[in-house]
Structures are given as C-alpha cells and as structure tokens.
Amino acid sequence: MASTTAFASYLADFERIFSRFDADGDGKLSPAELRCLLSSISQELSLEEAEAVVESTDSDGDGLLDMGEFLQLVGERGDEEEERELREAFEMYVSTEGEGEGCITAKSLKRMLSRLGTSRAVEECMAMICRFDANGDGVLCFEEFKAMMT
C-alpha cells in the first residue's frame, strides 16, 4: 500500500511538472516546451536536439509528447545511459554544503522541487527521503537514489 501511495505521489508530481510546462494547455509538450522544462533543471538542449528527443518518443506521430509519451521518455533507459542520467539527476539534488554534503538532504530536495514548481515543506521532504533511506542516516546517497528511481 505504501509503495502504491508513493508511486501515485510521484506520478502526480510528474503530472504537475508536465502541466506547468505545457504552455499552451493543449495536454502535449512541443519540442520548445520540452526545452523549457529541461532548461529549468539545467539541462540545455538545442531546438534540434529537443525535436529529435520528441521524435524518438512520439508514438502517434503528431510531433508532440502527450502525458503517456512524456512518462515513457522519463522512464526510458539503457544501462550505461541510465547510470549516467541517474548520476546527473542525482547531482542536481545533492547538497553541496554542510552536513550531508554529496547526498540528497531534505533542504536540497526542497530547493530542487521548488525549481521544478512543486513546493514542499522541509518536513515533507524529510518524509520522502525517509521512505528510501535504506541505512537510516537521514540523507539519500546515490545507491539509495538509484534504487528509488528504478
């Protein structure tokens, strides 16, 4: 039950992110909207690269990503590519100062979620971390983050 609830919460977060960057409200992301989304998390793509990403995931051939295609894009992974992408994603959330340096802390998670347009209290972030904190140290190391994301 808890994992179902956690999955529903993460799905809702992806839906909010998707909606926030669906500038024209048509329920689909254009390559330009995808670029904007990725830019907000410090992942720069040219328009041509964004078009190629959309084309590679666009199952209905309309040149746009609907929510299902977006989730597929987020979930697509090759072993080496997955590891690299997970490492890059992890680094965006990592604390770079003080206690927990090199790990995801409640404060660093809150900061990144705010950048993505999803505000959470530090206490909520602590609860999110607690669900995946295998060793109970109050932070997420890369291996715990990887287990959470796969």
Higher-pLDDT residue of 99 and 136 is 136
Residue spans per domain, the chain: 2-75, 79-149
Secondary structure percentages of the chain, helix, strand, coil, to 5 = 65, 5, 35
Q: How far apart are CA 64 and CA 61, in angstroms?
A: 8
**What local confidence, expressed as pLDDT, does residue 2 receive?**
46
**What local confidence, expressed as pLDDT, does residue 98 receive?**
64
**Three-state secondary structure call for residue 28:** strand
Q: How far apart are CA 36 and CA 68, in angstroms?
A: 19
CB 90 within 8 A of CB 109: no
CB 97 within 8 A of CB 108: no
Task: State yes or no: pLDDT of 26 exceeds 90.
Answer: yes
**What local confidence, expressed as pLDDT, does residue 79 receive?**
58
| CATH number for region 2-75 | 1.10.238.10
Q: Which CATH number fits domain 79-149: 3.40.50.300, 1.10.8.60, 3.40.630.40, 1.10.238.10?
A: 1.10.238.10
Place 99 in a pLDDT band, splitting at 50, 70 and 90.
low
